Amino acid sequence: MKNREQRDLFPGALELMILRTLKRQPLHGYALAQHIKRTSNDLLQIEEGSLYPALQRLLKEELVKAEWGISSTNRRVRIYKLTAKGVKHLEREVSRFETMLDGITRVLAPSAS
């Protein structure tokens, strides 16, 4: 069995991508999975299923909320929306991620001087 860390890019990456995607527009699970897959150019080989535990964690922390609704294809779906708390959390996480990425990029740069 692969563990969660291996499935994820890094701990919390999936949550970050979900929040970012939901900030643009509220989506239901399937659409969310397809969107993340598409926009990341299938770079992230995530199993679609792994989305759900992540969504549950976000629900529990009240960063997103969910409501049953009807999708464009006329099916009963649960649509996820970012909460105010989620927006703030996302901003904080993104800036932290950028700082980290910046650091990593500097270290990985071929010629430092």
Site track for another protein across 76-105, x = CB under 8 A: xxx---------------------------
Q: Are 62 and 85 in contact (CB under 8 A)?
A: yes
Q: Decide: is 52 part of the binding site for another protein (CB under 8 A).
A: yes
- Coil, strand or helix at 9: coil
18 is a site residue for another protein (CB under 8 A): no
Phi-psi region of 51 (alpha: psi -120 to 50; beta: other; left: phi over 0): alpha
Q: Could you list the residues that contact another protein (CB under 8 A)?
A: 1, 3-4, 29-30, 33, 47-50, 52-53, 55-57, 59-60, 66, 68, 73, 75-78
